[in-house]
Structure 1
Amino acid sequence: MKEIVVPTNKLTSFSIYTTLVLVLCLISPFYFIHGGELLKSNLYNFFLSWFTVLAVFIGIVFHEIIHLLVFIFSTQVKLKNLKVGINKEMMSPYVHVKIPITTNVYRFSALAPTILLGVFPIIWSFYAANAWFLVFGIIFFVGGSADLYIFWKLKNYDSSTKILDHEEKPGCFIV
């Protein structure tokens, strides 16, 4: 079995790079399209709101629920084959699949939370002229960095290749 694990040093640098690129590529156009006052007001509301704290907390939990739902709806995984918990070292929730699944399901599960909680809010922010959604989307896009890394590492594997989720680390094994 070949192990594919997200190295912490690469994840940190990738997250910083992704944050800088997203901020530069998204905040500037938002500013020019919707104006500085709206951006300033929305950012002020984002960073000083209890609603934001609640929304981010719920978003973190929902990120894992999206993984769980993709696994269940794939028809390859039953509820009894899933382990849900909290990683005490990283203080974060996780969903672990105990059985091998196809690369396609694993890749889709890796991308789904980033698309739903990152990309869609970013798109909505431009449509609704609301920078709160822009920042929320950036946070959850960057929060999906480990998932994006795994997706990228699996790009050359056939869709029917079997993947076994790593039980202890963010990553998987090629079976």
Structure 2
Amino acid sequence: MDDRKLTPAEEKRKTKFKALSAELEQQGYQKTDLCFSVTKANVLAVAVTFPILIAGILLFFWKNGGSNSFSLSGWRFLLFLITFLAGIAVHELIHGITWSIFAKKGFKAIDFGFMAKYLTPYCTCGEPLPFWSYATGILMPTLILGVGVYLVGLFAESYAWALWGLLNIFAGGGDLAVLWRIRKRRKSLLLDHPYQIGCVVFDKN
């Protein structure tokens, strides 16, 4: 699914992942791989978020008309770009913080990585989690940085904040695609993949 060369940290996580998967299978769990290729994840991200983006834009103009409380020009555009790029890192941190709340080992179960080939940062949890715990960690960055910031922009009549929120909803499209794929796995244990997009699920035989 991903032919890129793994980093030493990824190789280490891969070894732990295989050992934990084998342990769960010995306990009577059946393993199912629900990972995506990067290409498929990007296509699904666009498909999932495009209707949301259109609805968000229409809602903003329906509520606020042509008001403009924040101009994206000059240094403000640069600030907007810097904060958006910083938000990508914060997005992954929110994944980690949320999952650490549910993980037995806390933040020690969390690791971060970067797919240099795709210029994509990621966060992974090294413990299997119940559906709602895993799904909460998946969704939280998009709720906070996407939906939350968009609503601030909507009610503050700020194009910039609304756009920032919508872009973060788009950035969370891959997470939403994963959430959609696991939606029927509510009785399963879900183990985040150590270096690919998605997870594996374990069901009792």
TM (norm. structure 2) is: 0.74
SS in structure 2 of the partner of residue 57 of structure 1: helix
Identify which of 176, 189, 202 aligns with 1:162: 189
Q: Does the CA-based 8 Å contact 1:30-1:126 persist in structure 2?
A: yes
Q: 2:66 maps to what in 1?
A: 36
Identify which of 144, 154, 168 aligns with 1:116: 144
Identical columns (%): 21
- CA spacing shift, 1:79–1:33, aligned 2, 3 Å: closer
What code does the residue aligned with 1:12 have? N
Once the two structures are TM-superposed, the CA of residue 145 in structure 1 deviates from its matched residue by: 1.0
Once the two structures are TM-superposed, the CA of residue 37 in structure 1 deviates from its matched residue by: 5.0
What code does the residue aligned with 2:59 have? P
Q: Does the CA-based 8 Å contact 1:163-1:172 persist in structure 2?
A: yes
What code does the residue aligned with 1:140 have? N
Whole-Å Cα distance in 1 between the matches of residues 190 and 108 of structure 2? 18
Q: Over residues 122-162 of structure 1, what are the superposed CA-to-partner deviations in whole Å (9 max), with x where a residue is unaligned?
A: 11111100011111111110111111111111111225x21
Once the two structures are TM-superposed, the CA of residue 5 in structure 1 deviates from its matched residue by: 1.5
Which runs of 5 or more residues in structure 2 are unaligned? 1-30
Q: 1:13 maps to what in 2?
A: 43
Whole-Å Cα distance in 1 between the matches of residues 158 and 134 of structure 2? 33
Which runs of 5 or more residues in structure 1 are unaligned? none
Equivalent residues, number: 172
